[in-house]
């Protein structure tokens, strides 16, 4: 039996707290919690980070927190507004800091699911941004969930109190949150099942070495 709940990390939004993108991210994270996961969010003012500089070894507290959460996470939900046909610079900059994880046992976002959410004023921008975000997730070795959610903010999606008033959008965000948790649970169960086999192989290797 797995000893702890999976941790799902949400990254994204805009510097403006309670932006449409952040509200969508929070909806998906709520669905993940309803599946029994623990969740953390890196959004709003958290995204105001220094530009990633691969030559610098200096990392402030905001970046340190992002990397700590990213290393601990069993899955990710990434949400970006559509800026001129692509993901926002702030979201991309936050993701660029995963370069510091390149030498980890789990490099970058390797072996973990990533649900992708994009928001833009119009379907074309929302869809093109989703394609761009999914490509970034592939580059970071994550597993984009089968469902990605593109949200057209030209029509009302959230009420003033942050409630999602678009039932179709809400269902999609809930499915996305569930898919990330389901993958995390399956991956952790597989890893647990592999441990006895790996131990057996180590024991066999040790025995062969001692005999020779």
- Tracing tokens 């969930």 back to the chain, one arrives at 145
Q: Is residue 1 part of a domain?
A: no
65-83 pLDDT, tens per residue? 999 999 999 999 999 999 9
3-23 pLDDT, tens per residue? 589 999 999 999 998 999 999
- Distance set, CA 50 to CA 54, 61, 97, 137, 160 (Å): 12, 11, 10, 21, 32
Q: Is residue 198 part of a domain?
A: yes
Instruction: Give the pLDDT band (50/70/90) at residue 85.
Output: confident
pLDDT at 190: 86
- Tracing tokens 């086999």 back to the chain, one arrives at 197
Q: Is residue 2 part of a domain?
A: no
Taking the C-alpha atoms of residue 30 and residue 58, their distance in angstroms, rounded to an integer, is 34
Q: Is residue 202 part of a domain?
A: yes
Taking the C-alpha atoms of residue 60 and residue 82, their distance in angstroms, rounded to an integer, is 27
Q: Is residue 86 part of a domain?
A: yes
99-143 pLDDT, tens per residue? 999 999 999 999 999 999 999 999 999 999 999 999 999 999 999
Which phi and psi (to 5°) does residue 114 adopt? -135, 115
SS3 label, residue 152: strand
- Distance set, CA 127 to CA 25, 67, 118, 141, 189 (Å): 17, 28, 8, 21, 34
Tokens of 150: 């593109």
Looking at the structure of the chain, the number of domains it has is 1
The residue range of the domain holding 157 is 7-211
Q: Is residue 109 part of a domain?
A: yes
For 107-121, what is the HEC assignment? Answer: CCCCCCEEEEEEEEC
159-193 pLDDT, tens per residue? 999 999 999 999 999 999 999 999 999 998 888 88
Q: Is residue 27 part of a domain?
A: yes
Instruction: Give the pLDDT band (50/70/90) at residue 208.
Output: low
Is 147 buried (19+), middle (13-18) or exposed (0-12) by CB count in 10 A?
Answer: middle
Which residues does residue 33 pair with via DSSP β-bridges, in sequence order? none
CATH of the domain at 31: 3.40.50.360
Q: Which of 42, 58, 39 is nearest to 50 (CA)?
A: 58
Q: Is residue 39 part of a domain?
A: yes
């Amino acid at each position: 039996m797995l000893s702890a709940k999976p941790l799902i990390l949400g990254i994204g939004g805009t510097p403006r707290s309670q932006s449409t993108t952040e509200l969508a991210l929070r909806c998906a994270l709520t669905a993940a919690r309803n599946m029994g996961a623990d969740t953390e969010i890196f959004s709003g003012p958290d995204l105001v980070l220094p530009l990633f500089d691969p030559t610098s070894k200096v990392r402030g507290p905001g970046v340190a927190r992002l990397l700590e959460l990213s290393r601990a996470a069993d899955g990710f939900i990434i949400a970006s507004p559509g800026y001129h046909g692509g993901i926002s610079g702030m979201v991309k900059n936050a993701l660029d800091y995963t370069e510091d994880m390149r030498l980890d046992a789990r490099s970058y976002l390797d072996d973990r699911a990533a649900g992708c959410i994009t928001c833009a004023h119009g379907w074309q921008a929302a869809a093109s941004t989703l394609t761009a975000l999914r490509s970034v997730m592939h580059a970071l070795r994550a597993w984009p969930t089968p469902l990605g959610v593109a949200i057209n903010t030209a029509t009302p999606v959230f009420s003033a109190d942050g409630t999602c008033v678009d039932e179709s959008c809400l269902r999609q965000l809930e499915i996305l949150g569930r898919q990330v948790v389901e993958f995390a649970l399956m991956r952790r169960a597989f890893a647990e099942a592999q441990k006895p086999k790996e131990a057996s192989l180590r024991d066999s290797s040790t025995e062969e070495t001692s005999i020779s």
